[in-house]
Structure 1
């Protein structure tokens, strides 16, 4: 069982290091990276102290402790997916508004060009 604890701990620390590398290289947004660092550190913490999940499951009334771990993982991923959808919706709304503003500016520019062309034609006559 000690080798499993060591493996889990090393995987958590390795994942945290990878996430910090991605943040440093600007491949991952800092706020998203903090979430994943938290997840990796929780995995490393559970690797160091495996009895914690047994105690938490007992407090929650769950008789099979790994089920609590899987349930928590599913809930965290569901919340993360929901947050991503909310962010994507906001970005799409902002892009739509930006496109509308750009279309209005283009229409104003076309109107100004038309007015300038008309003024030049009338002044040359």
Structure 2
């Protein structure tokens, strides 16, 4: 086993351990941990068997095989950025609705207090 294969295996193991620890501490959701675990396994497989990348690139018609993992990494990062934007938008909509509800409830409380004080 060559040095870069050992390095890739260590990175994969570190990702796996980090995901496990973060789930145990409730810092990430189990669904995210599954994605990190899958990523760890893929890094481990490609690190130990780098010829798989060459074979996959050849099947896809890519002339420079080392660029294939870079392309996939960029695609994953773009997808993650898109998913984060979608989640942030959903959270913002929920927050706006909660702010509106609180404002309505505050107005109702003020009206109720005003009607109580006018009855006295």
TM-score by length of 2: 0.95
86-95 or 47-56: which moved more? 47-56
Shift of 1:108: 0.4
Runs of 4+ with deviation above 2 angstroms: none
Please name the residue that 2:31 is paired with: 31
What does residue 65 of structure 2 align with? Answer: 65
More moved, 14-23 vs 92-101:
14-23
Q: Tell me, in whole angstroms, the C-alpha distance in 2 between the residues paired with 1:31 and 1:84.
A: 14
User: Separation in 2 of the partners of 1:113 and 1:53?
Assistant: 71
Q: What is the alpha-carbon distance in structure 1 between the residues aligned to residue 96 and residue 33 of structure 2? A: 28
Match of residue 6 from structure 2? 6
Deviates further, 33-42 or 44-53 = 33-42
Give the C-alpha shift of residue 33 in structure 1.
2.1
- CA drift at 1:45: 1.2
Distance, in Å, in 2 between the alignment partners of 1:91 and 1:33 is 21
| Structure 2: gaps of 5 or more residues | none
Confirm or deny: 8 A CA contact 1:15 1:40 kept in the other structure.
yes
Query: Could you tell me the TM-score, scaled by structure 1's length?
Result: 0.91
**Which residue does 2:94 correspond to in 1?**
94
Which runs of 5 or more structure 1 residues have no equivalent in the other structure? Answer: 121-125
Larger radius of gyration: 1
1:26 CA drift (Å): 0.9
Residues of 2 paired with 1:92 and 1:56: CA distance?
41
